[in-house]
Amino acid sequence: MTSDMTRRDFLEVAATTGGLMMVGGLWPDVAAGQASGLQTAAALPAAERVVVTVVTDNLADATRPNFKVAKRPAGGKSPVDSAMHAEHGLAYYVETTVDSKPHAFMFDFGTQAPGLQRNLDFLKIDFRKIEAMAISHDHWDHEAAAVELLQAKRADLVRGVPLYLGQGFFAGTYAKRATGEVQLLSVLNRDDIERLGLVRIVEVTTPTAIVPGAWLTGPVPQITEYERVAPNFMAKKGDQFVQEDFVGEQSVVMNVRGKGLVIVTACSHRGVVNIVQHAQRITGVDKVHAIIGGLHLTGAKPELIDKTVSDLKAIKPDWIVPTHCTGFEAINVFAREMPDQFILNTAGTRYTFEV
């Protein structure tokens, strides 16, 4: 795929290849780099512009002002009109501009469809522009609103738009509670998605181009000693519950020309430092411009928070925007230790990174 591929060209290629970067196929340099463990020559097209809109998140603040690269939602006939829906959930609308051509995709779908749709409509997000969709992992707070929202937007969607999911997405994830009860965390059913007749499910097993200028990371190796999946997360193998590894969880990586990588995470169950280092390896780009997303540090021990913040600080991103499951304590540490890079996210905020 060339960086000047048009939207129609890209969708036609995705329809025939599944959008996957096959070993020895579309992206041989990436495959070779993964096999050798070395950084790859950059094959990710550099974007002139990347815009990340956090459609919904855990926090809303109708009075918070614009701040640096962050533009807060505004407008409406009254303050009530501009009040954003917030929830324990996460959804993004992401735009890239490559060789002056705009592209757009949805990443995650939050929890409550009416609230999500309200935010999308207020933010004037046009589903007719969406070329791809992806869900990071199979937890309710990232997927529950998907079917209802797709149904509500069916008149605007391009039929057959790819929906990218990590390997084993529909196997189900569970959590073991303090009482010993094991609770299913997944709510999205493959049949319900396919019955809509709107999207084409594509499984992600390698770094995968979803629109020009944006990749899903594929499986993220766990390299750091301290970033481990919490032991209460379980997967079912036959009749037995085993430790969940979240090998299928996806993040998004983009590269703004001359600025560096923009990395968008969901929950970072395999560790945000691992995700960032993996993004650097697969793209061959060391400079990190922005990290936006849930870092799954809520309730974490102080030493884990401190180590994570210390390692991200050493990477020297220009911007750090913790969302969703990062947790109050960790957000405070980021604000204290990285005051020049830190931005407090609120639902509906739009981040623009450009040349």
What's the pLDDT tens digit per position in 304-326?
999 999 999 999 999 999 999 99
**Residue 186 amino acid letter:** S
Residue 343 CA, chain-centre distance (Å), reads 18
Q: How many CA atoms lie within 13 A of 34 on its CB side?
A: 21
* d(C-alpha 48, C-alpha 295), whole Å: 27
Q: If you average pLDDT over residues 78-105, what whole number do you get?
A: 95
Strand positions, DSSP E, 65-131: 70-71, 91-98, 101-107
Nearest residue to 62 via CA among 351, 327, 352, 348: 348
Q: Is the pLDDT of residue 13 over 50?
A: no
pLDDT of residue 79: 84
Residue whose structure tokens are 């009040």: 83
Q: Which CATH number fits domain 7-349: 3.60.15.10, 2.60.40.350, 3.40.250.10, 3.20.20.70?
A: 3.60.15.10
Q: If you average pLDDT over residues 3-23, what whole number do you get?
A: 42
Q: If you average pLDDT over residues 241-258, what whole number do you get?
A: 97
Backbone φ and ψ of 293, nearest 5°? 150, 175
Q: Produce one character per residue of 130-151: b if its CB has 16 or more CB atoms within 10 Å, e if not.
A: bbbbbbbbbbbbbbbbbbbbbe
Q: If you average pLDDT over residues 61-75, what whole number do you get?
A: 95
Residue 29 CA, chain-centre distance (Å), reads 24
Mean pLDDT across the chain: 90
How many Cβ atoms sit within 10 Å of the Cβ of residue 222? 16
pLDDT of residue 322: 98
Q: If you average pLDDT over residues 73-95, what whole number do you get?
A: 92
Question: Global pTM?
Answer: 0.89
Q: If you average pLDDT over residues 121-131, what whole number do you get?
A: 97
Radius of gyration of the chain (CA): 19
**Where in the chain are the domains?**
7-349
Q: Is the pLDDT of residue 140 over 80?
A: yes
What's the pLDDT tens digit per position in 197-213?
999 999 999 999 999 99
pLDDT of residue 77: 84
